[in-house]
Homo-oligomer: A and B are copies of this chain.
Amino acid sequence: MSTPANFSGARPIIHPDDAVMLLIDHQSGLFQTVADMPMTTLRAHATALAQMATLAKLPVITTASVPQGPNGPLIPEIHQAAPHAQYVARRGEINAWDNPDFVAAVKATGRKQLIVAGTITSVCMAFPSIAAVADGYQVFAVIDASGTYSKMAQEITLARIVQAGVVPVDTAAVASELQKTWHRDDAQQWAEVYTRIFPPYQLLIESYLKAQDVEKNHEALDSERG
């Protein structure tokens, strides 16, 4: 396809009230194999997705690939940040979409847009995404909240899913499409989400507050003290 699949020409963007978030196989063992970005970045981005789903009231479905084996357990932050997330156990299927319970859970949300992240990217993220496109869903793949074993593997997968009609997005774009405006009561909480996606934002906030405090409190510069 290589055009965004299943949009029928409509603007290919996320609609918060029609989207469900799928967080697949973000496991401590698999994270050791990730080499397309620092593992800490992946961990922060996956957690940011869970946080924003909570803020935007998106359903979240998680699953893991044989967490009793070397792949290891799900990282705890995801369910901590999205306590409403539903965990679906599989029976060994590599493609989560091959597990009937998983597909049923998605279907039960009644939503038509899937926001998908998974480790490893070309498998745990790409397989369900490609399958869901074939089943008529609008699919957004969060490439940088997924992780894989090489930068090249990530690039190959990006090309493959675009060719298949999946919309590629980065973590920040998902946040902003869900948030839409800073004119909202939970703006502070969204700002905190961005500090996970691009950590210098935290420094900006700290420096900003201090600069205002200095002005507010008429604090003297140390270098101008007597």
- B221/A12 in contact, CB under 8 A: no
Of A53-61, A68-76, A78-86, the one with at least 4 CB within 8 A of chain B:
A68-76
Partner pick for A183 among B2, B35, B91, CB 8 A cutoff: B91
Interface range on chain A (Cβ under 8 Å from partner) = 35 or more
- A122/B173 in contact, CB under 8 A: yes
A207 within 8 A of B: yes
- B152/A11 in contact, CB under 8 A: no
A111 within 8 A of B: no
Contact residues, A161-205 vs B (CB, 8 A): 162-164, 167-173, 176-177, 179-184, 187, 191, 197-201, 203-205
Query: Which residues does chain B contribute within 8 Å of A211, judged by CB atoms?
Result: 72, 207-208, 211-212, 215
In the complex the two chains form, what is the Cα distance from A200 to B149 in whole Å? 9
Q: How far is the CB of A25 from chain B (nearest CB, A)?
A: 11
A11, A32, A154, A199 — which one has the most chain B CB atoms within 10 A of its CB? A32
In the complex the two chains form, what is the Cα distance from A170 to B43 in whole Å? 23
Q: How far is the CB of A106 from chain B (nearest CB, A)?
A: 17
**CB closest chain-B residue, reference A40:** B199
Partner pick for A181 among B12, B94, B171, CB 8 A cutoff: B94
Partner pick for A205 among B4, B70, B162, CB 8 A cutoff: B70
Query: Which residues does chain B contribute within 8 Å of A222, judged by CB atoms?
Result: 64-68, 89-92, 182
- A12/B153 in contact, CB under 8 A: no
**CB closest chain-B residue, reference A63:** B222
Of the A-B pairs whose beta carbons lie under 8 Å apart in the complex, a sample of 30, sorted by A's number, is A4-B163, A29-B207, A66-B221, A68-B210, A68-B220, A70-B191, A71-B204, A72-B206, A76-B206, A91-B222, A91-B223, A92-B182, A92-B221, A92-B224, A93-B180, A93-B181, A120-B172, A123-B172, A126-B173, A143-B156, A144-B150, A144-B153, A157-B173, A159-B159, A160-B168, A160-B173, A163-B168, A182-B222, A211-B215, A212-B215
